[in-house]
Amino acid sequence: MSYRERITLEPDKRSGQPCIPGLRITVYDILGYLAAGMTEAEILEDFPDLEAADILAALAFAADFDRRLLIVPNL
């Protein structure tokens, strides 16, 4: 699965932050919950419209973003 199927960037939603389509939950929200120690099960319980694949997509998005940062040459 590609995260591109589960993450959208729309300028008029959540200030253009990467979001789960149809929900107002951003990738950063999900990453923040995980960083705070919430488990996948706890996140899914708190947000019943969210799916496990959405959480994996948020992690994949973050990993891809990090990889792109490593590719940018020093200026």
Residues 2-47 have pLDDT tens digits of 888 899 988 888 888 999 998 989 999 999 999 999 999 999 999 9
CATH number at residue 35: 1.10.10.10
More confident residue, 3 or 57: 57
More confident residue, 5 or 1: 5
- Say if residue 72's pLDDT is above 80: no
Total domains present in the chain: 1
| Long-range own/partner contacts, residues 16-21 (CB < 8 A, 24 or more apart) | 18/61, 20/50, 20/54, 20/57, 20/58
The pTM for the full model equals 0.81
- Say if residue 73's pLDDT is above 70: no
Residue 30: the pLDDT is: 97
What range does the domain containing 55 cover?
Answer: 3-71
